[in-house]
Amino acid sequence: MQAFHREPDWLTVMADGTVKQLNPFSGTEVWTVAGRGNRPLGVSLPPPVPLDPERHGRHCPFCERRYLETPPEKSRMVRRPDGSWETLYRTTAEELYATTAEFRRVPNLFEILSYQYWHANYGYVLPSRVAARRTAYLQSAAGRAHVLGVARAKLVASGRTPEQLDAMTSDEQVEFASGFFGGGHDVIISRRHFVDGAVDNTQLAGSGTLTPDEHYQLLAFTVESISALFTLNRYARYVVVFQNWLRPAGASFDHLHKQLVAVDERGVQAERAVAQLRANPNVFNEDAVNYAGYKNLVLAENDHAIAFAGFGHRFPSLEIYSKSAECDPWEQSPEELRGMSDLLHAMHAATGVEVPSNEEWHYRPIDVDVAMPWRIVLKWRISTLAGFEGATKIYLNTLDPWAIRDRTVTKLLALRDDGRIAANLRIGSEAECRPNSLRYNAGSR
């Protein structure tokens, strides 16, 4: 009789306690050496320095009183006096300070793929409505001054000398800023630099310091922005979504923001996932969520999402999966989005603002015909890769998945007791962990 095929065990505990991990989707190998798992995270905030009241709203170019230092915004979310939320589009330069943006979407000043990239390689030109927006903005004296000011700042940062700037006409400088209106690299910026009422510089405002409702609005705003970028550029095959928190994790400013980058390839991660899904459509249940449940790594869940301590990542990681049958985030219901948001918010709150982190989104590319679940990985950037990793491609983590679980679950329970995260989360042993809880496979095209 032919023997059946068994997949490798993704987690192996050696006799001395060393934990060897293998990521089922990337093939990354990670070891947690015995005796190192109880080490502190190795991060701390700087010594507290009192905040200068005169700098309120002006701590960095992303702050609410420095709107003119970022390119013309595409949209903003505001909170009305009755507590309701509203999205405003195509705010003019004259209207920038008429409302306070809780979240705003602006073009990135230094795009990964610029408007010139899309134009030169694909013949991309601004859609008519975007071209009309650009014309109207530049016909305004305040709008033209805003664009020229930001364009000159970008030219200086790019190495142009004052003499070279003076040799350029204003029209040439404006043309340099075409990507401000039609580019495919956006930044979503939160209002706060520090928490409301902060008195010193250690009280940064991160994802976990938002209320659950504020975080939901941020996530929904981000999902809408993905769809908008696909609509803007028909050559985009994927929109990369990520959040770098604190400078050790790649952030330019210690101010909460996400980035969205339209690209003309699916990316290696997605290509690998597509190949695995064609071989086994249920692989994300079997090798991710089911496996995490069997190994007691589930951190929390609700009716629409589940989170577990990740394995096989270069850095300690928390993974959040949508249970929805709808693979495209922008097609999910508000309740499903809220379920993902509440879990992601809780993971950030449990992580803490002092920990540098990367938030990475993964979902089905728009030109893929197989079902794939939307998932988010939150990575704690608490170690530096060194020679051993480079020489072996085996990565050392100071925390194994069970240590991550224990730290996170303890914090989640305390946060729920304090009313700082969603009350309906089923944490740790409360989670049902039903096999095949991800319903994405029913959403196959």
What value does the mean pLDDT take over residues 275-298? 96
What value does the mean pLDDT take over residues 299-303? 98
Which of 20-29, 168-177, 303-312 is the most confident on average? 303-312
Strand pairing partners for 31?
A: 20, 396
Residue 143 CA to its chain's centroid (Å): 30
Can you list the domains of the chain with their CATH numbers? 11-35+266-443 (3.30.428.10), 53-261 (3.30.428.10)
Residue 444 predicted with pLDDT over 50: no
HSE-CB for 249 with a 13 A CA cutoff: 26
pLDDT in tens, 236-259: 999 999 999 999 999 989 999 999
**What is the 3-state secondary structure of the chain?**
CCCCCCCCCCEEECCCCCEEEECCCCCCEEEECCCCCCCCCCCCCCCCCECCHHHCCCCCCCCCCCHHHCCCCCEEEEECCCCCEEEEECCCHHHCCCCCCCEEEEECCCCCCCHHHHHHHHCCCCCHHHHHHHHHHHHCHHHHHHHHHHHHHHHHHCCCCHHHHHHCCHHHHHHHCCHHHHCCEEEEEECCCECCCCCECCCECCHHHCCHHHHHHHHHHHHHHHHHHHHHCCCCCEEEEEEEECHHHCCCCCCCEEEEEEECCCCHHHHHHHHHHHHCCCHHHHHHHHHHHHCCCEEEECCCEEEEECCCCCCCEEEEEECCCCCCHHHCCHHHHHHHHHHHHHHHHHHCCCCCEEEEEECCCCCCCCCCCCEEEEEECCCCCCHHHHHHCEEECCCCHHHHHHHHHHHHHHHHHCCCCCCCCEEHHHCCCCCCCCCHHHHCC
What value does the mean pLDDT take over residues 304-329? 96
Q: For residue 8, what pLDDT band results from cuts at 50, 70 and 90? A: low
Closest CA to 189 of 251, 147, 112, 111: 251
Q: For residue 40, what pLDDT band results from cuts at 50, 70 and 90? A: low
pLDDT in tens, 400-413: 999 999 999 999 99
Would you state the pLDDT for residue 155?
Answer: 84
Residue 121 predicted with pLDDT over 80: yes
Q: For residue 4, what pLDDT band results from cuts at 50, 70 and 90? A: very low
The whole model's pTM is what?
A: 0.94
Would you state the pLDDT for residue 36?
Answer: 56
Residue 5 predicted with pLDDT over 80: no
What value does the mean pLDDT take over residues 307-316? 95
What value does the mean pLDDT take over residues 140-159? 89
What value does the mean pLDDT take over residues 15-28? 92
Would you state the pLDDT for residue 372?
Answer: 97
Would you state the pLDDT for residue 163?
Answer: 79
Would you state the pLDDT for residue 105?
Answer: 97
Q: Could you give the percent of the chain with pLDDT greater than 70? A: 95
Q: For residue 47, what pLDDT band results from cuts at 50, 70 and 90? A: confident
pLDDT in tens, 94-106: 999 999 999 999 9
Would you state the pLDDT for residue 438?
Answer: 97
Would you state the pLDDT for residue 255?
Answer: 97
Closest CA to 318 of 256, 379, 274: 379
Would you state the pLDDT for residue 198?
Answer: 95
